[in-house]
Structure 1
């Protein structure tokens, strides 16, 4: 059972299921509003747990009722919580506006870019990062780990040593060379490969000079893909830890994510 360190957010997602697409100046109705645990670290960690990893999560929670409930849920799910930091303040939900097409708009409270820090020393077979800000001591600990996968930050972020950077193709420049350069600015000299998902289109693996395309799993009809990218990342990392090459790991991750979407839709 490999130990994996997952760094990122655990949110209370308040999901508004809209009856129509968002339009400027429009009046939109919603058919349902649900609140559930979410966030990049949560979804990735859950996938890794289901695959058999021992997952230690590095995140920040508030000590209020919602934060304590989240902590209990993480323990119940099987997470190792020794590296969680309890920070002063109140839990604020992440508002997610979900359109009928599956398009989503995320509204996050200000102040979520405070640097993540770890309580205690980190040690694992692999690390996954989905966070903007990391403090210096955490970056140093990440660099000591043998395998690191990072999500491509969509906003200015702390550079962190990473072997693989994952993103949606929509979130990086069309020019792969430019995308590679930007990934290198985040991941540094350890960067081996950029992994780009693209919905039902092929997954692109780019090592700075050569491109490999991997056919994704069959399309799953769903209007809710929240968490799918994080699940893909967790499966990809787990397959790498099993010794599979990147193309095979991407293929496994696509299939595993499709199976999860299918189960959630049943």
Structure 2
């Protein structure tokens, strides 16, 4: 199993469970609220680490209470935080408005500082797997350097660089598929569609009751990356990701949970 390098957001979430989204100028009462760890990068890192992988988180927190909580949560999950930088400003925080059908609306609170992080390209070894859980065009040189060094580089869309072997994300986030890149498109209840040199293949979602859709895409990415790390065929990684996503949406959490098909479940 290679090391995984997850580059992206680390956030502290405020989840509000509401009967409906408010119309402009109207009031809505939350039936339940909770603060909890989150952030796309931290979610994927946690999912992989809890499955037994060696995971290095690359991102930032602020010198605030939320940052302390997030670094503690990542450490507890077994994630290496040596490359989590403390930047002047606030730890990313979001408000989640979660409806009865589990769908969530996300409201960011603080300015994003991911453009200020330093990516430790020299620390990435041949065979490692790199996942950009958020993409900025300024990451292109780092992605190309790590790919040239022998790492498997993956990203959310657009990830528009020849270095990308896989793009993993929601269909709505794709505008183009770079040449020689495999696109893995999540489509919610409709499952996943894979566009590769071999053609187009569709995979149905795992039927389940959705309580909270937060982190479903991150859980899917974690399962898929695990499959790539185990050198499994792509379809096995997709199916594992779908199983992890189905398990995650059944609970009230931003962080993914270990689901059916987890290779460490019986260990």
Shift of 1:121: 3.1
For 1:195-251, what per-residue CA distance to the aligned partner results, in whole angstroms no more than 9, with x for missing partners?
A: 11222324211126711112332x111230101101110110110121112122111
Of 151, 157, 169, the match for 1:152: 157
Q: Is the 8 A contact 1:127 1:145 kept in 2?
A: no
Instruction: Please list, as runs of the form range in 1=range in 2, the aligned pairs for 1:12-27 lying within 5 A after superposition.
Output: 12-27=12-27
For 1:127, the equivalent position in structure 2 comes to 130
Shift of 1:120: 7.2
Residues in 2 aligned to 1:169 and 1:158: alpha-carbon distance in whole angstroms: 15
Of 222, 227, 240, the match for 1:252: 240
For 2:213, the equivalent position in structure 1 comes to 225
Q: Is the 8 A contact 1:22 1:99 kept in 2?
A: no
Shift of 1:158: 7.5
For 1:72-113, what per-residue CA distance to the aligned partner results, in whole angstroms no more than 9, with x for missing partners?
A: 221121111111111012335211111222222211135315
Shift of 1:56: 0.2
User: Structure 1: 5+ residue runs without aligned partners?
Assistant: 173-178
Structure 1 stretch displaced more, 142-151 or 3-12: 142-151
Q: CA RMSD in A?
A: 2.6
Residues in 2 aligned to 1:200 and 1:12: alpha-carbon distance in whole angstroms: 27
Shift of 1:69: 2.6
Q: Is the 8 A contact 2:192 2:202 kept in 1?
A: yes
Structure 1 stretch displaced more, 33-42 or 197-206: 197-206
3-state SS in 2 of match to 1:42: helix
For 2:100, the equivalent position in structure 1 comes to 100
Judging changes above 3 Å, is the alpha-carbon distance between structure 1 residues 120 and 167 closer, same or farther for their aligned structure 2 residues?
A: closer
Residues in 2 aligned to 1:109 and 1:10: alpha-carbon distance in whole angstroms: 13
Of 187, 192, 205, the match for 1:216: 205
The number of aligned residues is 249
Residues in 1 aligned to 2:114 and 2:160: alpha-carbon distance in whole angstroms: 11
Q: Is the 8 A contact 1:164 1:194 kept in 2?
A: yes
Judging changes above 3 Å, is the alpha-carbon distance between structure 1 residues 248 and 168 closer, same or farther for their aligned structure 2 residues?
A: same
